[in-house]
Structure 1
């Protein structure tokens, strides 16, 4: 099974840029790249910050664009999103309590899409009501599960980012720990960085978004860091006993060389180009 993980597309008014980059144009470039190499994906998930300012027009444009996209798509919301504006365009994604929390079954796992957004603030929250929803979903099915969310559910040890992480992360990890044998992977966004690790023994991963990029500048303790690293999306492969996660830097514009045979007998010290 193959899955596309995308995050932090940050759609804006047409022509508006973030860090000198056009989010709508880059999102289109990502979709084109995905269909070229991964048209056989079973699902694409975008883990939040769909709109930069939560404008309804951004969600309307996104819905129109995804309606014609041949790969099924599921959405989470993030700190830049407006839950009310989002649900006015995607009412079918309203879950219990008005949160954007849903379930989707795939051959490899049951996918759970979590809502970690809290109005008018950048840190994430996962209140008792949402935690109860997740606990019920994990208890009612044998799994395995894949979890998708916007905010990082563990510290990343970059001070400015940790100030806006999931603030209820300890309670979240405690719940995950009770079901860790049936949760195959947790995917998140928010940090605009390639990240990997574990939460209560469950593997987690994240990636840069499709527009602007962060940088792990550990010496900066107050302000978020930005860079001109390439835009990206993720490709995830599932086997019976493994998960493989790639970050595809579709925004890279340099050369890509086809060289170096995997056959050791073809290696030549004098002529091999590396």
Structure 2
């Protein structure tokens, strides 16, 4: 199972429409060129720039003809009602009319959360949605689960962004921590790629696809804007192998590919939940035999990517 993550395309209309549309088109084209080809794509929020109905129609024009399933996540730039008006009842929202939903893929469960708080750049899930998440995760424990939302539930050292993070991050951590088959939490919002331990698993964020959007510097302000004509032809790719295995049950794996508009020319792979003493791909991206857990880290530490090879 291969899941490609994109984030923050900020699709819009009018004079500023070209760059965001180009960034999303190019990223989707790269997804199709990957071998093996991903099974689906998830876009982790800020789907549009302003949440206007015409922007969601523009987004639908881009993703509607895409040959792979595309799953959409709300962000602080989005408008929930406009999203549901355009994509409700379609596979982009798992055929339903809710911005939080889950998709039972053949070898994994994709869970999409809605952290949008109208009128605020920060996010919140709320008790009702967290209880729903707990029930969904408890309902299928024999397959890896990937949880997607827009606002990252960790502080990353960028004060301006940390101030507009997920308000109930601790409550989310409590839910995720009860379910060891959650092998990845995927988020956006930061406009940069970050990897962090979270609730016994791993959190990854994907940068913005919009060539005109700045990255956020350490002071919390806007960094350098990248001109579209200076961008590389292919986005950066990072692959994570998420493996949840229980004795006596078939092994199921889910890969998460994090794609952005930047390309370093390299692809790195990490093995999650590797049984002690097995042969796999370690955190350094190299094939090693007998990759051992860090002493004292325990299973949770190994799932969080702390390796000794």
Report the TM-score range of the alignment, normalised by the length of the smaller protein.
0.7 to 0.9
RCO higher in structure (CA 8 A, sep ≥6): 1
- Give, in angstroms, the shift of residue 65 of structure 1: 2.4
Q: Is the 8 A contact 1:51 1:80 kept in 2?
A: yes
Gaps of 5+ in 2: 245-252, 267-309
* Cα deviation 1:102-143 (Å, max 9, x = unaligned): 111223311101001000110001111111111111222224
Per the alignment, residue 131 of structure 2 pairs with 132
* Offset from partner CA, 1:211-236 (integer Å, 9 cap, x none): 14554633x25x34444395846554
Q: Which residue of 2 aligns with 1:147?
A: 147
Asked if the contact 1:51/1:58 (under 8 Å) is kept, the reply is yes
CA contact (8 A) 1:235 1:246 kept: yes
Match status 1:53 vs 2:50: yes
TM-score (norm 1): 0.80
Q: What is the distance in 2 between the residues matched to 1:37 and 1:123? A: 34
Using the TM superposition, give the Cα deviation of residue 177 of structure 1 relative to its aligned residue in structure 2, in angstroms: 1.3
**What's the Cα RMSD here?**
2.9
Q: What is the match of residue 161 of structure 1?
A: 161
Alignment of 1:232-251 (within 5 A): 232=235, 236=239, 238=241, 240=243, 247-251=258-262
The number of equivalent residue pairs is 249
- Give the drift of 1:201: 1.1
**Partners of 1:233 and 1:6 in 2: CA distance:** 11
CA distance in 2, matches of 1:146, 1:82: 24
Change (3 A) 1:175 1:237: closer
Aligned position for 2:184:
185
Q: Does 1:91 align with 2:88?
A: yes
Q: Which deviates the most, 25-34 or 199-208? A: 25-34
Contact kept? 1:4, 1:235, Cα under 8 Å: no
Unpaired runs of at least 5, structure 1? 258-274
Native 8 Å contact 2:74 2:116 kept in 1 = yes
Q: Is the CA contact (8 Å cut-off) linking 1:6 and 1:210 kept in structure 2? A: yes
Instruction: Determine if the alignment matches structure 1 residue 176 to structure 2 residue 176.
Output: yes
SS of 1:150's equivalent in the other structure is coil
The alignment status of 1:67 with 2:72, answered yes or no, reads no
